[in-house]
Amino acid sequence: MLDAHPSSPSTTPSTEAPPIVTFEGVTKRYPGIIANDSIDMEFRAGEVHVLLGENGAGKSTLVSMLSGLQQPDDGRILIDGVEKPISSPAEALDIGISTVFQHSMLVPSLTLVENATLGRKWWQRPDRSGTAKAMQDAAKRIGVTLDPMAVTGDLSLGERQQAEITRALMRGARFLILDEATAMLTPNDAARLGELMRRLAAEGMAVVFITHKLNEAVAYGDRISVLRLGKKVGGLSPEDLKSLDAQEATNQVVRLMFGTRDTTASADQKPDMSTVDRGAKPSLEVLALYADAARVPLSNLEFKVWPGEILGIAGIDGNGQKQLAAALAGQAPISDGRIVLDGAYIDRLSIGQRRAKGLRYVTDDRLGEGTVGGFPMSINLLLKEIGRMPYWRGGLEQPEAIRENARQKVKDFDIRTPSIDTPVGKLSGGNIQKVLLARELSGSARVVIFEKPTYGLDLANISATQMRIRETAQNGAAVILISTELDELLSLSHRIAVMDQGGIAGIVENTEDARHKIGELMSGVEK
């Protein structure tokens, strides 16, 4: 959301329309937990129905039952008022239910047209040109432009989602589920998706929008249902949403989600400027940095970060942020330029040597590269220290020292784990992030790169992580905070750099009009 001023829905919801899908006392149990506990819900045509809840509240389970991936253990599902199970994805499609998942469900190696024809009878010949035309017509109807012959793997996530929605329309969908659809999108793409949702509802489609972002829920929803710990704890009807203004609606939803807690505080918090000492020597200097990355090459990056300062890096996802972090950490080669840490060049050093000098990198790919999922948490805490004293002596493991370290970190970072021997892959996302923070923030950190540190976490873990980031700066380290959440950057950073196509479009001080300036830099106005 570039301009996060929730606006009320533009179209009038038609509460008169009959429900397409009705849940009556639907319950789904997994070993040890009740994911959905006797949920009653109605999904009507012409309505954007928002399902709101924290991670683990049961949103995904509900979606997988709607899309035919899972079956309820108890309760009834009514389709157009008649009881009918949704026993498979194919059946869901027959009913007219289409789902757009958070992770694209298109085959990367096929073109959009070929993806659109997936699922038809085996022996038929794919009618590529005919399908392409139908696709373009459908896209035009909802105001989307796309190239049907493009290979999916070459497209951005936003473009893929638009293609998926178009495909759903082509299949005659009358019920569209958007599962965390904005989570991976840039603010601009997310706003565009919101408008698209409104248009689809206006055309008479039932839209189910799953999110954990309050402002989006209030801005795009006709009806909001809030889930907590598997139960539907309440919601706002279209009448409520119309009568309340955005702030009141948000407050009411927050009360439902968290009891009484109010979240507006963290968003309005401003960074503490007193920790920054720009008179001192900068901790990190990046001088005319170039790198040949395959997709987004870095060109002529130049910035400084002072001790105690948080430099935010904003930008649409995929504009070189990941490449910048990898180049600074030493994971990717640079082609030209220098990197200076505390006055010494580090660009020729290896990953390990840079770490020894105090450079830390908290990756956003927590299970992909941050940890080895099958290894115990205690080993993952030392993944970057293998062979070092006192955990290894003469190359031999010292189990007691390793265990002691893990116990200490569990205490210091409040890591919730059944045991220090538990494989890290079995922990929740928030606790995996704590393991990474514990590993990267221990010892003498001089420069810490946080890459999308709160992505995919629930609110409690988001605020814990943001507190760690502030602490890191207060302790005198220079912090680089890469994020696609503008609110997060504005509440934490002292300065914010905007990245665009591998370069820096501009760096702004975090003052009153920063939001506006950043918006202009991201949309390429000031070029």
Partner 1 sequence: MTLFTDTFLIALIAGMAASGVPLLLAGLGEQLSEKAGVLNVGIEGMMLGGAYLGFYIAWATESVGLGFVGGVAGGILVAALMALFCVRMGLNQIVIGIALTLGAEGATALLHHVQFSRLYPRLPDVATWRIPVLADIPIVGPALFDREPVVYLAVALVPFLVYVYRRTHLGLALQAAGDKPAALDSAGQNVLIIRSFAVLGCGALVGLGGAFMSIVGAGVFVPFMSHGNGFIGIVLAMLARGRPLWVLLGAALFGACLSAATALQVAGVDIPTDVVQMLPFLAVMAVLLIAGRNAKLPAALGAAYVRGER
Partner 2 sequence: MSADTMTDTAQTGNLQRKLHAISNTLLMSLGPVAAAFVLSGVILLILDVNPFSYYGYVFGRGLLSPTGVQATLTRMGPLLLIAASLIVAFRAGIWNLGGDAQFLVGAVFCAAFTPLMAPHVPVWIGLLAGAAISAIFGALWTLVPAFLRAYQGLNEIITTLMMNFLGISLASVLVKLVFLDPNTTVPQTRTLAVEDRLPTLFGTTISSGLIIGLVAILAVHFMMTKTAFGLRLRVVGGNASAAVHAGLAVPLLTVAVFAISGALAGLSGGVAILGQYGNVRADWNPGYSLAVVPLVFLARFNGFAAIGFVGLFSIMSIGAESAARRTGVPNYFTLVTIGILLVMLAISEYYGAKRQKAGA
237: Cβ–Cβ under 8 A, 6 or more apart, which residues?
15, 223
Q: How far is the CB of 92 from partner 1 (least distance, A)?
A: 8
> Binding partner of residue 427 among partner 2, partner 1, none, CB under 5 to 8 Å per kind?
none
Q: Nearer Cβ to partner 2, position 115 or 378?
A: 378
Q: How far is the CB of 70 from partner 1 (least distance, A)?
A: 7
Q: Nearer Cβ to partner 1, position 104 or 186?
A: 104
255 binds partner 2 (CB under 8 A): no
Tell me the helices (H) and strands (E) count for the chain, helix number first.
18, 22
Q: Write out the binding residues for partner 2, residues 329-348 only, by CB under 8 A.
A: 329-331
> Binding partner of residue 110 among partner 1, partner 2, none, CB under 5 to 8 Å per kind?
partner 1
> Binding partner of residue 119 among partner 2, partner 1, none, CB under 5 to 8 Å per kind?
partner 1
Q: Nearer Cβ to partner 2, position 204 or 374?
A: 374
Neighbours of 294 (CB within 10 A): 6
Query: Binding segment for partner 1 among 18-26, 93-101, 283-291, 503-511 (CB under 8 A)?
Result: 93-101
Is the CB of residue 242 less than 8 Å from the CB of residue 31?
no
Q: Nearer Cβ to partner 2, position 250 or 380?
A: 380
Q: How far is the CB of 443 from partner 1 (least distance, A)?
A: 35
Which is nearest to 97 in space by CA: 2, 206, 193, 12?
A: 206
Q: Nearer Cβ to partner 1, position 93 or 441?
A: 93
380: Cβ–Cβ under 8 A, 6 or more apart, which residues?
371, 372, 424, 435, 439
Q: Nearer Cβ to partner 2, position 259 or 368?
A: 368
383 binds partner 2 (CB under 8 A): yes
CA distances from 457 to 56, 433, 443, 521 (A): 10, 9, 25, 28
Q: Nearer Cβ to partner 1, position 119 or 399?
A: 119
349 binds partner 1 (CB under 8 A): no
Q: Nearer Cβ to partner 2, position 373 or 506?
A: 373
Is the CB of residue 193 less than 8 Å from the CB of residue 115?
no
Q: Write out the binding residues for partner 2, residues 25-64 only, by CB under 8 A.
A: 31-32
Characterise 150 by phi-psi region: left (phi > 0), alpha (psi -120 to 50), beta (else).
Answer: beta
Query: Binding segment for partner 2 among 240-248, 338-346, 383-391, 447-455 (CB under 8 A)?
Result: 383-391
The letter for the amino acid at 448 is V
Hunting for tokens 């059946």 — which residue is that?
91
Dihedral angle over CA of 459, 496, 493, 258, nearest 10: -20
Q: Nearer Cβ to partner 1, position 164 or 317?
A: 164
351 binds partner 2 (CB under 8 A): yes
Q: How far is the CB of 397 from partner 2 (least distance, A)?
A: 5
Cis bond upstream, residue 18 (ω within 30): no
405: Cβ–Cβ under 8 A, 6 or more apart, which residues?
378, 381, 382, 391
Q: How far is the CB of 43 from partner 2 (least distance, A)?
A: 31
Q: Write out the binding residues for partner 1, residues 61-90 only, by CB under 8 A.
A: 64, 67, 69-70, 88-90
32: Cβ–Cβ under 8 A, 6 or more apart, which residues?
none
506 binds partner 2 (CB under 8 A): no
Hunting for tokens 């892959």 — which residue is that?
425
Q: At what angle do helices 157-170 and 187-202 cross, to 10 degrees?
A: 10
Lay out the site mask for partner 2 across 407-446 (x = CB under 8 A, - = otherwise).
x--xx--xxxxxxxx----x--------------------
126 binds partner 1 (CB under 8 A): yes
The single residue among 73, 277, 369, 526 that binds partner 2, judged by CB under 8 A, is 369
Is the CB of residue 441 less than 8 Å from the CB of residue 448?
yes
Q: How far is the CB of 425 from partner 2 (least distance, A)?
A: 10
Is the CB of residue 257 less than 8 Å from the CB of residue 53?
yes
> Binding partner of residue 415 among partner 1, partner 2, none, CB under 5 to 8 Å per kind?
partner 2
371 binds partner 2 (CB under 8 A): yes
Is the CB of residue 141 less than 8 Å from the CB of residue 169?
yes
Q: Write out the binding residues for partner 1, residues 103-122 only, by CB under 8 A.
A: 103, 105-110, 114-115, 117-122
Q: Nearer Cβ to partner 2, position 218 or 329?
A: 329
Name beta bridge partners: 175: 97, 206
Q: How far is the CB of 316 from partner 1 (least distance, A)?
A: 24
The single residue among 154, 302, 397, 471 that binds partner 2, judged by CB under 8 A, is 397
Which is nearest to 497 in space by CA: 511, 512, 509?
A: 509
Residue 242 parent element (H or E): helix 238-243
Q: Report how far residue 156's alpha carbon sits from residue 444's, in angstroms, rounded to the nearest whole number.
A: 38
**Strand bridging mode 48-52 / 223-228:** parallel
The single residue among 363, 484, 491, 510 that binds partner 2, judged by CB under 8 A, is 363
Is the CB of residue 23 less than 8 Å from the CB of residue 75?
yes
248 binds partner 2 (CB under 8 A): no
Site residues (vs partner 1, CB under 8 A): 64, 67, 69-70, 88-90, 92-94, 99, 101, 103, 105-110, 114-115, 117-126
Site residues (vs partner 2, CB under 8 A): 31-32, 329-331, 350-352, 355, 361, 363, 365, 368-375, 379, 383-384, 386-387, 392, 395-397, 407, 410-411, 414-421, 426
